[in-house]
Structure 1
């Protein structure tokens, strides 16, 4: 569960995108819905602790971001889709690093197969298409065992077969409600069993 208390963020000289927002995001799939530019990516970055908020308190389990940032971030998975951080790594190395040593190997293999990733895993990420890079990160997020997963427009740039694989795995995760998954999307309806929905803008 992500416990959010009094979260606030505004760009200098502009109205706040998030103003005194408090919520609890519990196990299952939560849809973070809003049009392009509504602030979905920013809110994920705030929840991930990679964008500093102006005010507020974020907590996962017994880890408060302000007090124990390393322990807080260790409990969640988030990759900014625009990052170039992993470009020099092979897909295989990136997947192994991000998923962690305790990853669900059966699920990892199923995702590699469902996403059609096998021919690309020995290539450096900078050589891959946008969709294939996303698939590496999605496979790591879903096969890994971090209790909180933040996904920014996860179906973007994916082929239809990969989208079906993604929704199937997310539906299984949502049904068990053992992990907290936030899916930011401009699509209002999906086939996912939602535990909750958050509509932007929040103000």
Structure 2
């Protein structure tokens, strides 16, 4: 299958550190959901941030055969990466969050958004701002927006954290449904891979 994301020679280095955290890393992601694994401290979250353009990451990246643009703003219409706990979201309702994220990441399908809101059990909390919601409820709102977005690459860091069993089941089904779409991939960090979630491949980081 053609690669959705192709990565060559990736290097991630923090200022002041003599050795890079990641060096000469290469991998490819076909359509579907892929696991990102490695020991604690191996750089999983840092790699996701680097792929999103939120922190420096040297190397070459292609998305669906096209070179990936550099920088966070240029990648946001292509790559979904959002921190549900970001303080800047506190004053937003779930639908307000959708509108803000749509400005960053491009179109979010309204019908798909509502379907995920209902599936995650968010509808009764629609009038609340995010600072009133639990960690799990905040995560559901961000996941609903990401799953309804047109971004071909989703980057998800422990997406099941704080979710109840029914919400995890909905997420698994949504990711499995999305895996059938050509040109779409998800890279997921999960300490425990959700039951029933089809795994198209795995990226394993060295070190830690």
Query: TM-score category by the smaller chain?
Result: 0.7 to 0.9
1:31 aligns with 2:35: yes
Equivalent position to 1:131, from 132, 136, 140: 136
Question: Are 1:99 and 1:141, in contact at CA under 8 Å, matched by a contact in 2?
Answer: no
- Quick one: distance in 2 between partners of 1:202 and 1:5? 19
Aligned equivalent of 1:48: 52
- Quick one: distance in 2 between partners of 1:42 and 1:170? 23
Aligned equivalent of 1:200: 205
> Residue 63 and residue 88 in structure 1: after superposition, are their counterparts in 2 closer, same or farther (change >3 A)?
farther
Greater Cα offset, 18-27 or 103-112 = 103-112
Greater Cα offset, 145-154 or 182-191 = 182-191
* Alignment TM-score, normalising by the size of structure 1: 0.87
> Which stretches in structure 2 are left out of the alignment for 5+ residues?
none
Equivalent position to 1:60, from 52, 59, 63: 63
Question: Are 1:19 and 1:202, in contact at CA under 8 Å, matched by a contact in 2?
Answer: no
> Residue 104 and residue 59 in structure 1: after superposition, are their counterparts in 2 closer, same or farther (change >3 A)?
same
Equivalent position to 2:164, from 155, 159, 167: 159
Aligned equivalent of 1:22: 26
1:40-189 matched pairs, under 5 angstroms = 40-53=44-57, 55-61=58-64, 62-66=66-70, 70-99=73-102, 102-188=107-193
> Which stretches in structure 1 are left out of the alignment for 5+ residues?
none
Q: Report the alpha carbon displacement of residue 177 of structure 1 after superposing the two structures with TM.
A: 4.2
Question: Are 1:174 and 1:194, in contact at CA under 8 Å, matched by a contact in 2?
Answer: no
* Alignment TM-score, normalising by the size of structure 2: 0.85
State the SS of the aligned residue for 1:42. Answer: helix
Greater Cα offset, 127-136 or 177-186 = 177-186
Q: Report the alpha carbon displacement of residue 28 of structure 1 after superposing the two structures with TM.
A: 1.1
